[in-house]
Structure 1
Amino acid sequence: MEKYMGEFLGTLVLIVFGTGVGASVNLNKALAKGFAPSWFTVVFAWGLAVTLGIYTAGFYDTGGHLNPAVTLAFAVGGMFPWNQVAGYILAQFLGAFCGAAIISLVFYPHFKETKTEEGNSVGIFATGPAIKNPVYNLLSEIAATFFFIFVLLMMTHGEITPGLTPLLVGFLIMAVGLSLGSTTGFALNPARDLGPRLAYALLPIPNKGSVNWDYAWIPILGPIIGAIIAVLAVNAM
């Protein structure tokens, strides 16, 4: 149970810091919005969020997956026991949902001040395509996740949490986001997308817009496919 708690808390920390920047740069009367933050601001924040989440999970010696695509791919590749997969994934989704719930509460007055057309959208919490094209959107998520996991395994050999490794993973997330992320928002992680998307749908957030459920399958399936291909490719070397 300690490992499941670690994945829950690590994913919660990841989402609090990640979606927190989404709220900060999109909602009216948030101080950050007035400074005209850039794409780099968002990518940098998500890199830090991943680093802090991995360090949190590392306290419980979970391996710092924080991501169902990582957990599934590592299991497929023989690097993680199958009997822990369901517990890890459940903990990750619950952590992501609760992290988004915390941000919805912290920024509640700002949601009240922001209409949908002004930035109160599911994009604060979840990803979406710059150009909606399901085939290429799925390909983008597959490619981004493939290169994330491929390089991750080259750096870590599956040991994510020791020492400075979480910081390196954060830089890797930034590199992926800056290079491959601007097509779909680089979900890379089904829990990171679906948990907060579900929170946006279910919680009483004022002035909220569409949840874009018709797109939600892409940031679930794409990362899983990309991660499994990456693990199989590394194992074949």
Structure 2
Amino acid sequence: MPSSDIFIGEVVGTAVLVLLGGGVCAAVTFKRSKAFEAGWVAIAFGWGFAVLTGAYIAIGVSGAHLNPAVTIGLAIEGGTEWSDVPLYILSEMIGAMLGATLVWLSYYGQFLDHLTARQSDAAEPAGSATAPKRDEPGPVLGIFSTAPEIRNSWQNLVTEIIATTVLVIAILTQGLNQDGDGLGALGALITALVVVSIGLSLGGPTGYAINPARDLGPRLVHAALPLPNKGSSDWSYAWVPVAGPLIGGALAGGLYNIAFA
């Protein structure tokens, strides 16, 4: 596959994935959004449709990995050349950062309104319930990246490993009943439904990153954007949604070779 196809497909596809996925998180988070408090089901389906859209855009160009964990799983399974892996992952990171920036631009007024309100809250006494703390992540971070409900790094890591293994093994086994030819574009729909299922079933503990680029790229954008009173980017947790999905992707690739190849 030409390097230009990998780069263009993965950048554009991942950017659309993160734009629509981060967009649903923003829509549910901001008070001055028509989807405010739409809930977890809206987020799960929003991310599923985001995967569907990004994958359909990229599948004919780069194969639509859109996720370093998928890239690693495919490389271990043998469907992707190891020499292409760095380009895939770099392209996915660039796309994720671009998508997160587009979310910020799309919701610029809501970001400004929300953070201005937090700035007013900062004038309250230090012990008040609404006063923001610089060293703690604020609600805006959830638009960009994930955070656990119970902060236990090893449990959070295991959750991400399990969820990503399910995702990648579901991708790798597509089309096995079709004489190994794969399902093509139909596979994008199946993958999207798997993502919805993971969100509803396994997303509760950690917010189901299941994609290192989807979490780390937007987290870097959160750290870089000039957003007053945004809180920290929670770097102490940031390794979990990177390491967990990469381990899960590798496990899925190995499992596929043992049980299905």
- What TM-score bracket applies, with the shorter chain setting the length? over 0.9
Letter in 2 for 1:128: A
Deviates more, 1:112-121 or 1:174-183: 112-121
Deviates more, 1:216-225 or 1:152-161: 152-161
Residues 59-106 of structure 1: CA deviation (Å, up to 9, x unaligned): 41x111000111122112222101111111110000000110011112
Secondary structure of the equivalent of 1:185? Answer: coil
Question: Following superposition of structure 1 onto structure 2, how do residues 77-226 of structure 1 map, counting pairs within 5 Å?
Answer: 77-115=77-115, 120-156=139-175, 162-226=184-248
Alignment check: 8 A CA contact 1:190 1:219 kept: yes
Which residue is equivalent to 2:21? 18
Alignment check: 8 A CA contact 2:77 2:256 kept: no
Gaps of 5+ in 2: 119-129, 133-137
Q: 1:67 to 1:129 in 2, by over 3 A?
A: same
Which residue is equivalent to 1:46? 47
Give the Å deviation of 1:13: 0.4
Alignment check: 8 A CA contact 1:47 1:173 kept: yes
Alignment check: 8 A CA contact 2:73 2:168 kept: no
Alignment check: 8 A CA contact 2:72 2:253 kept: no
Alignment check: 8 A CA contact 2:16 2:99 kept: yes
Which residue is equivalent to 1:9? 12
Are residues 1:232 and 2:257 paired?
Answer: no
Give the Å deviation of 1:159: 7.4
Matched residue pairs, number?
234
Alignment check: 8 A CA contact 1:111 1:206 kept: no
Letter in 2 for 1:31: K
Residues 112-161 of structure 1: CA deviation (Å, up to 9, x unaligned): 11145697421111001010000100000001111111222222459777
Which residue is equivalent to 2:64? 64
Mapped to 1, the partners of 2:98 and 2:234 lie a distance apart of: 20
Mapped to 1, the partners of 2:233 and 2:75 lie a distance apart of: 31
Letter in 1 for 2:31: N
Secondary structure of the equivalent of 1:209? Answer: coil
Alignment check: 8 A CA contact 1:68 1:189 kept: yes
Letter in 1 for 2:42: T
Letter in 1 for 2:51: V
Q: 1:159 to 1:90 in 2, by over 3 A?
A: farther
Q: RMSD value over aligned CA atoms?
A: 1.8
Mapped to 2, the partners of 1:27 and 1:209 lie a distance apart of: 16
Alignment check: 8 A CA contact 1:28 1:113 kept: no
Deviates more, 1:152-161 or 1:48-57: 152-161
Give the Å deviation of 1:199: 0.4
Which residue is equivalent to 2:31? 28
TM-score (ref. length: structure 2): 0.85
TM-score (ref. length: structure 1): 0.93
Whose radius of gyration is greater, 1 or 2?
2
Give the Å deviation of 1:220: 0.3
Alignment check: 8 A CA contact 2:7 2:87 kept: yes
Letter in 1 for 2:258: A
Q: 1:195 to 1:2 in 2, by over 3 A?
A: same
Letter in 1 for 2:32: K
Q: 1:161 to 1:125 in 2, by over 3 A?
A: farther
Mapped to 2, the partners of 1:16 and 1:160 lie a distance apart of: 28
